[in-house]
Amino acid sequence: MRRRDTSTAAMKASVLCEALPYIRRFSGKVVVVKYGGNALADSAGEERALRSFADDVVLLRSIGIEVVVVHGGGPQIGALMQRLGKVPEFRDGLRVTDAETLEIARMVLVGKVNRDIVGAINAHGPLAVGMSGEDAGLIVAAPRDPALGYVGDVTAVDPSIVTRLVAEGLVPVIATIGADTTGQAYNINADTVAGAVAVALSAEKLVFLTDVDGIRSDPADPSSLCSSLTCAELEALVAQGAVKSGMIPKALACAHAVARGVASAHVLDGRAEHALLLELFTPEGIGTMVRPS
């Protein structure tokens, strides 16, 4: 005869009841999740984080939330470049991308990182579909600066292929390679792409999963984590220099998306177990939420 720990069962029931209002609120809504390359490094801990992330995505899709995943892969690109004897070069935080580096980026983003995420999700069933911004004209790009080579900016997003996949109950997983109108490919900052895709899909939420706990008013002080910010407050932190380096494009993408109709944007540590569920389905969340006002 089974014996049930009633206290543990009651705790689980309480958690489910707490999540119920959020499940009702977000069912049928689009949530764009940017899964950062820093949360995908090759270690046992981060492999567990990927499995936890996949669990979260499948659960969200199972309860009617329309999830779209956008991913980066900067550390993985850098690692392959080093193995091939190619020295990465950066200008103002952006990777100088010649033709050879572009091919490396495409191999890593489309052929490795995208497949890892798709495989982790599809371990639960045939749900995820891998693609890049080059597919079906999803992301139209233009060169940012000739000195950077094949580094692009988003000039337009045609979300029709993503919309069709989502309508069929699938989870699009997008690698951030775009192309111009001639078919020339460009590597594009994944944070920027995630924000643009969220706006194009009129998403309810844009979530950045990275390797830090959120946005801090003092980057060196974990106790200065901001649980909630308005767009104006976030832009002030950027102007003051409190938001630095890799957090800047995330902050700008959050502000851009929220100012253009996305209800809220979130930045949190994607290595934490079930980070996505904790942020979406609990009142306090675990990271930073950016709201219009």
Residue 262 tokens read as 């996305």
The DSSP symbol for 110 reads: I
- The whole-angstrom separation of Cα 279 and Cα 282 is 6
Burial class (CB in 10 A: 0-12, 13-18, 19+), 77: buried
Q: So what's the pLDDT on residue 41?
A: 55
- Residues 2-8: what's their mean pLDDT? 54
Query: Is residue 36 pLDDT above 70, yes or no?
Result: yes
Name the CATH code of domain 25-291 (choices 3.60.21.10, 3.40.1160.10, 3.90.550.10, 3.30.2290.10): 3.40.1160.10
Q: Which residue has the tokens 């767009």?
A: 231
Q: How far apart are the two ends of the chain, measured CA to CA in Å?
A: 55
For Cα atoms 251, 255, 256, give the angle at the middle one, nearest 5 degrees.
115
pLDDT digits (tens, 9 = 90+) for 48-91: 888 989 999 999 999 999 999 999 898 899 999 999 999 988 88
- The whole-angstrom separation of Cα 15 and Cα 22 is 12
The pTM is what? 0.91
Report the percent of the chain where pLDDT is more than 70: 92
For Cα atoms 289, 291, 293, give the angle at the middle one, nearest 5 degrees.
140
Burial class (CB in 10 A: 0-12, 13-18, 19+), 101: buried
Maximum average pLDDT range among 19-23, 158-162, 277-281: 158-162
Phi-psi region of 75 (alpha: psi -120 to 50; beta: other; left: phi over 0): alpha
Question: Number of C-alpha atoms within 13 angstroms, CB side, residue 63?
Answer: 19
Q: Nearest Cα to 215, choosing from 189, 240, 188, 190?
A: 240
Provide DSSP, 230-283: EHHHHHHHHHHT-S-TTHHHHHHHHHHHHHTT-SEEEEEETTSTTHHHHHHHSS
Q: Which residue has the higher pLDDT, 37 or 240?
A: 240
Query: Is residue 1 pLDDT above 50, yes or no?
Result: no
Q: So what's the pLDDT on residue 106?
A: 95
Instruction: Give the count of beta carbons closer than 10 Å to the beta carbon of residue 290.
Output: 27
Q: So what's the pLDDT on residue 7?
A: 58
Q: So what's the pLDDT on residue 40?
A: 62
Query: Is residue 42 pLDDT above 50, yes or no?
Result: no
pLDDT band at 245 (very low <50, low <70, confident <90, very high): confident
